[in-house]
Structure 1
Amino acid sequence: MRFPAPLVSARLVKRYKRFLADVVLDGSGEEVTAHCANPGAMTGLKEPGARVWLSRSDNPKRKLAFSWELVEADGVLVGINTAHPNTLVEEALRAGAIPELADFTSLRREVKYGRNSRIDILLEEADGRSVYVEVKNVHLMRRPGLAEFPDSVTARGAKHLDEMATMVGEGARAAMVYLVQRPDCERLSLAGDIDPAYVRAFEAARAAGVEAYAVGCRITEDEIVADRPVTLAI
């Protein structure tokens, strides 16, 4: 996924109310408020003074022209915009970067299913079997090389696991894809100390036949590409 225009560099002043971030633009020194499209805790990624990169919209109807895209943390670029993972995973699927999910003939996004839910990606295999793919963004790293999910309690995530297990029971395939938006993690684990209920739901879903995969990203100021497997340490 290439950014449509060059990103604007800045320094973070503070992130607050989950979806807002005050930053000082490099060069001009102007302080602006950017949209932070991330409902999570963003542990280790919201330190005042951190170098960040923003996209800018020319849409006059938007209240905030800037959106926070990247942050420099632990010496690498980390993607924090949770609006992108579905697109990144779709690109990875079409490129064959997830071999276990490569045998599909059609791909649709945001399809209704279950108890008033939408699946992120619905694949159809050559034999007509459906594959329900739920995408989760990951950027928490508390130990070197180990990504963890979630970074905050996610009752919605546990609900999705239950619904995917139901789809497997009805004869479909279902797969969790954890998108690690940082290049310095080779393994992924679940943060049971943060959300033990999610871990229990994951274990039940896996026992029911729900698959799980993790994909890492290559990140620059120009693009984000999901192109490498990350080992599940679960």
Structure 2
Amino acid sequence: MKIINRTIKGSFVKRLNRFEGIVVIDGREELVHIPNTGRCRELLVLGACVILEIRESRTRKTPYELIMVYKGNRLISIDSQAPNKIVEEAVREGVIEDIGTYGYVKREVFYQNSRFDLFLKKTEQSGKDESCYIEVKGVTLEADEVAKFPDAPTERGARHLRELAAARQEGYRAAVIFLVQMENIRQFTPNKLMDEQFAAALTAAHDSGVEVLSFDCKVSENEIVINKKISVSL
């Protein structure tokens, strides 16, 4: 996924609320939009070097979108909208071997009470046995090259997993993809200390036949792409 707008660097000052923060740009404090409602406490620290995408629009309070943060020398994408786009792009191009090739790809399809990120079919006329629901989770929390999700409790996330399991039991293929929005990650694991219910739901979904996949990403200031598959420890 390419970053199509111009970007600029800044120095993070503080978070005002879930969606807004203050960043120093060219010596001036500016209001920025933060496209991630997760806590990101280990990333959004005073003085952190951040990458801002400039999105000009009359409807925005600020043109600055905080899309990436440097943690040491590692560049991390925090844009919560990016993972869906990255995975969809990769699925359409057929580059995720574990998923395979599907001729029909549709975004945001409802199943029971959940709206899954992607629904795939071999052809538009395919039945359940040639169809796949995919839920994508972006991951920004990392320690010692181990990525963890979630970084805040998520009942919605646990519900998604239960309903993926229901889809699998009904005969559909079902998968959850944890896309780690940084490079050089060796393993993914659910964050049991943060959300024990989510971790239990993930194990139950896996046991019912839902595929649990994780990939890290190559992240530069103008592009984010899937890099490699990483191991999952439940």
TM-score, structure 2 normalization: 0.94
Aligned AA for 1:216? Answer: D
Q: CA deviation at 1:233?
A: 2.1
Aligned AA for 2:14? Answer: K
Residue aligning to 2:7: 7
1:119 paired to 2:116: yes
Tell me the distance in 1 between the aligned counterparts of 2:203 and 2:131.
22
Tell me the distance in 1 between the aligned counterparts of 2:140 and 2:207.
26
Q: 1:92, 1:227 within 8 Å by CA — same for their partners in 2?
A: no
Tell me the distance in 1 between the aligned counterparts of 2:41 and 2:225.
23
Tell me the distance in 1 between the aligned counterparts of 2:5 and 2:119.
30
Tell me the distance in 1 between the aligned counterparts of 2:5 and 2:205.
40
Tell me the distance in 2 between the aligned counterparts of 1:212 and 1:16.
35
Q: 1:148, 1:190 within 8 Å by CA — same for their partners in 2?
A: yes
Q: Matches of residues 1-234 of structure 1 in structure 2 within 5 Å?
A: 1-25=1-25, 28-115=26-113, 117-125=114-122, 128=127, 129-142=130-143, 144-234=144-234
Gaps of 5+ in 1: none
Aligned AA for 2:177? Answer: V
Q: Secondary structure at the match of 1:101?
A: coil
Post-superposition CA distance 1:178-197 (Å, at most 9, x none) = 00001131211111011000
Aligned AA for 2:191? Answer: A
Q: CA deviation at 1:41?
A: 1.4
Post-superposition CA distance 1:63-86 (Å, at most 9, x none) = 221110100003210000101110
Q: CA deviation at 1:220?
A: 0.6
Q: Secondary structure at the match of 2:38?
A: coil
Q: 1:3, 1:222 within 8 Å by CA — same for their partners in 2?
A: yes
* Percent of aligned pairs sharing the same letter: 35
Tell me the distance in 2 between the aligned counterparts of 1:86 and 1:221.
18
Q: 2:5, 2:55 within 8 Å by CA — same for their partners in 1?
A: no
Q: Secondary structure at the match of 2:103?
A: strand
Q: 1:137, 1:180 within 8 Å by CA — same for their partners in 2?
A: yes
Tell me the distance in 2 between the aligned counterparts of 1:39 and 1:113.
24
Q: 2:183, 2:227 within 8 Å by CA — same for their partners in 1?
A: no
Q: CA deviation at 1:154?
A: 0.6
Gaps of 5+ in 2: none
Q: Secondary structure at the match of 2:98?
A: helix
- Name whichever of 204-213 and 91-100 sits farther off: 91-100
Q: How many residue pairs align between the two structures?
A: 230
Tell me the distance in 2 between the aligned counterparts of 1:43 and 1:15.
10
Superposed structure 1 runs of 4+ greater than 4 Å apart: none
Q: Secondary structure at the match of 1:92?
A: helix
Q: 1:213, 1:232 within 8 Å by CA — same for their partners in 2?
A: yes
